[in-house]
Structure 1
């Protein structure tokens, strides 16, 4: 594994990555020619400092699979992972404790490679405030003595308001800044870490984003990590800059997906990784 180096280290707690690591177009503009597919995670984890796993949204993996992923990545690398959609789509959301426990118990096999867990609520039947609050109370703070960090991604515009922000702050859970016109996009800091998905890469730009935009995202990531809140982003409630150091996770997701690794590496260079 030393062939690909040790990978970029987080700078001031800032990690940058993409969604997944298996995507055919990346075999012509990111992965070296001839790299076998089974080594793609090994390579990606040495050029990015985090990856968000989308496949777990459609079904949990076996603990042995999570352990294998961890073994293929360098020290300091983290996976974010989406929880299985069957949990968030349950008609009895407040009674999903056993399903949550089962998923968390399995993904704990990632060990110290386990980063935030993302609980994504897609558009569907309207969420009920009381049952949603009960659901958040079910999410465990730790597993096997290791702290858990939870990210809540509600995509119902009508539900995402000041009360939603207050509830996330109450539980020290992060919302998602999406940089998107399709999904709710708010930069209120609700936890002691920040989770951002940048969703506007463009196929006609080699690095996905123009240089000046990448410069601005680097500055925002640094401000987040130092305890501030960028003044040029949208907010739903009063700003909550506490001055405390924060971990920051920035992912280039969707949009012109073929450009996302280049965008992530360009941002890492600007951060000095």
Structure 2
């Protein structure tokens, strides 16, 4: 049975306090509150800097057993190195605590910068570097250059790992990129960016990954009932085909993301079993 995971990108936003989160709720309870209302959360602090194993363990401990996190890969890899000579950086990323999420570790998201053009050989090499199982990730993490007290490189069980790539340069919107992603079993993110970046609907893996940044204004505008109905129909069609679906709302500025996520989750209830 295919599963839909509908959630939000990040959960620590000051404007949400007293609106989505109850007034005076301690900040340390916000993750628990959000995870009881959604299926998944995209960890995006990992994009800005390496997080600590203690943080990943805490996040795992404060969410329901069936909850899943996706984890955004570091911008050092995607935006500074621009995917080149990235082996040590990817090893450090996986050593930094990602594996401490255990069975709550979902897909890894790699968001490329808008200035990065499609270079087939470089993309091919990067996708080939990505570990496909937690055991492979732990082995790669063993090459880390991080201090031992900043690392977690053990896994309790070997599980498959999924990867998704979000592209933001028009040169990626070509069959050659789709074929590369499909050859590596990596999902191309379907991103709704109010028309700013490419929209690629090709399905290249055994799951789909959707990021909803705002349909009219990037990071700001909410989704109407009609647009949520359309997204539910599209995602529901994938579920019917047996594909797991991960969808995250990133339109956080006006506190729309959690409500839109709950709205889409409710619409997909007929397509998929509940996790909780």
Band the TM-score falls in, shorter-chain normalisation: 0.7 to 0.9
Aligned to 2:103: 112
For structure 1, list consecutive stretches of 5 or more residues without a partner in the other structure. Answer: 1-10, 228-244
Aligned to 1:32: 22
What number of residue pairs does the alignment pair up? Answer: 243
- Match runs of 1:47-62 below 5 Å: 47-62=37-52
Taking the aligned partners of 2:197 and 2:43, their CA distance within structure 1 comes to 19
Aligned to 1:89: 79
8 Å Cα contact 1:201-1:255 kept in structure 2: no
Q: Which of 216-225 and 36-45 deviates more?
A: 216-225
Taking the aligned partners of 1:64 and 1:55, their CA distance within structure 2 comes to 14
Match of 1:41 among 31, 35, 47: 31
Provide the TM-score with structure 2 as the length reference. Answer: 0.82
Cα deviation, residue 139, structure 1: 0.3
User: Cα gap change, 1:75/1:91 in structure 2, threshold over 3 Å: closer, same or farther?
Assistant: closer
Taking the aligned partners of 1:38 and 1:185, their CA distance within structure 2 comes to 36
Computed over aligned residues only, the root mean square deviation of the Cα atoms, in angstroms, reads 2.0
- 1:182 equivalent to 2:196? Answer yes
Tell me the SS of whatever aligns to 1:93: coil
User: Cα gap change, 1:93/1:270 in structure 2, threshold over 3 Å: closer, same or farther?
Assistant: closer
Once the two structures are superposed, residues 188-222 of structure 1 have per-residue CA deviations (whole angstroms, 9 ceiling, x without a partner) of: 1010000011222679xxx9322222122112111
Taking the aligned partners of 2:132 and 2:164, their CA distance within structure 1 comes to 12
Once the two structures are superposed, residues 128-158 of structure 1 have per-residue CA deviations (whole angstroms, 9 ceiling, x without a partner) of: 2212211110000011312110011121112
Taking the aligned partners of 2:91 and 2:98, their CA distance within structure 1 comes to 10
8 Å Cα contact 1:202-1:256 kept in structure 2: no
- Match runs of 1:193-272 below 5 Å: 193-200=207-214, 208-227=222-241, 245-254=242-251, 256-272=253-269
Q: Which of 125-134 and 177-186 deviates more?
A: 125-134
Taking the aligned partners of 2:203 and 2:190, their CA distance within structure 1 comes to 9
Tell me the SS of whatever aligns to 1:25: helix
